[in-house]
């Protein structure tokens, strides 16, 4: 059982984005990230306004927003300061170093300017980290590698996952952890997760209290299964929080509080088990 508290782990990280996330989790007593996957800027902002008090992080897919304008990220940054949450653009970079550096810094979205954390598929090899790091490190940004996905039949297994962990170990100033379904410290190590002396942030999508899947390959586990059973740090919840009617902001806020409570209760259970 991984028993290190979020507060005690701040000192294990030099990366400013990793430290900020752990500080916010402790301050707000929240290990909940809400993934705001909607296509209208108005809905996007209304959901963030509703869930803001309950989350440590807002995860975005900024490229699905149909009426995107640069001012939207400035509003997002203002909400991040108002409600005290980190921003994680779930971009899943997966190209050669030079291209991902351009995609991260430039284009319509200029992700490096506003997103504390982003992520990358390990598939191109270490150069994907080199490219992103050349843009993000100087800005105090952090990277998560996709070591495991939540979908049925995902190819992110075995030696692929092990190689993702190796890539992270070689870049600990910038790679702060993983998108994964369990802890990763013991992967390729002969010790248990809590005795390696390493500290990766484990952010886990595929979390839901009411359903087990979405009919399109997504697989859900409960916050307790993810945090106590698998030792993960941050639960990422999308549709489980905001459903399909985005105008029901009081209900959305209630769901966010429900997931915050469940996630934090599970964390306390892990610490004291
Ligand atoms: F890397 C991953 C993964 O393995 N599974 C995911 O579900 C990312 N995700 C994201 O988390 C996905 O792109 C969605 O943005 C979110 C899950 O949303 P849901 O509505 O809770 O299923």
95-142 residue pLDDT tens:
999 999 999 999 999 999 999 999 999 999 999 999 999 999 999 999
User: At 38, which helix (H) or strand (E)?
Assistant: none
As a whole number of Å, the end-to-end CA separation of the chain is 8
Q: Which of 148, 168, 166 is nearest to 158 (CA)?
A: 148
ipTM, two decimals: 0.99
Q: Which of 52, 83, 87 is nearest to 73 (CA)?
A: 87
Nearest-atom number in ligand 1 for the CA of 214 is 22
This prediction's pTM: 0.98
63 counts as catalytic: no
Give ligand 1 pocket residues (Cβ under 6 A).
35, 37, 61, 90, 146, 149-151, 179, 205-206, 214, 218, 236-240
CATH code of the region 6-272: 3.20.20.70
> Is 238 annotated to bind ligand?
yes
The CA-atom distances, in angstroms, between 53 and each of 20, 87, 226 are: 16, 14, 22
**The token pair that represents 191 in the structure block:** 């010790």
Domain extents for the chain?
6-272
**The token pair that represents 168 in the structure block:** 């992270």
- Determine the 3-state secondary structure of 156 from DSSP: coil
pLDDT one-digit tens code per residue, 12-21: 999 999 999 9
Q: Of the listed 84, 92, 214, 261, which one is catalytic?
A: 92
pLDDT one-digit tens code per residue, 206-246: 999 999 999 999 999 999 999 999 999 999 999 999 999 99
Nearest protein CA to atom 1 of ligand 1, as residue:
149
- Using CA atoms, how far apart are residues 118 and 141, in angstroms rounded to an integer? 8
User: Is the pLDDT assigned to residue 5 strictly greater than 90?
Assistant: yes
């Amino acid at each position: 059982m991984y028993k290190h508290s979020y507060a005690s782990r701040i000192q294990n990280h030099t990366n400013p984005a990793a430290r900020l996330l752990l500080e916010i989790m402790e301050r707000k007593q929240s290990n909940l990230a809400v993934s705001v996957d909607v296509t209208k800027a108005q809905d996007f902002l209304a959901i963030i306004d509703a869930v803001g008090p309950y989350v440590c992080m807002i995860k975005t897919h900024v490229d699905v927003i149909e009426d995107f304008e640069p001012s939207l990220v400035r509003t997002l940054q203002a909400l991040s300061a108002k409600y005290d949450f980190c921003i994680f653009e779930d971009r899943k970079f997966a190209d050669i170093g030079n291209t991902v550096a351009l995609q991260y810094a430039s284009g319509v979205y200029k992700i490096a300017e506003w997103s504390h954390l982003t992520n990358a598929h390990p598939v191109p090899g270490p150069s994907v980290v080199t490219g992103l790091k050349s843009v993000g490190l100087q800005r105090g940004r952090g990277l998560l590698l996709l070591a495991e996905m939540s979908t049925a039949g995902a190819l992110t297994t075995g030696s692929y996952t092990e190689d993702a962990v190796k890539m992270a170990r070689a870049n600990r100033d910038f790679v702060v952890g993983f998108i994964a379904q369990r802890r990763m410290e013991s992967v390729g190590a002969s010790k248990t997760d809590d005795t390696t002396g390493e500290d990766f942030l484990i952010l886990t999508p595929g979390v839901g209290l009411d359903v087990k899947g979405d009919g399109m390959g997504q697989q859900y586990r409960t916050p307790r299964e993810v945090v106590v059973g698998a030792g993960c740090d941050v639960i990422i919840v999308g549709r489980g929080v905001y459903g399909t009617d985005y105008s029901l902001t009081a209900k959305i806020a209630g769901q966010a509080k429900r997931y915050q409570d469940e996630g934090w209760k599970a964390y306390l259970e892990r610490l004291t088990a």
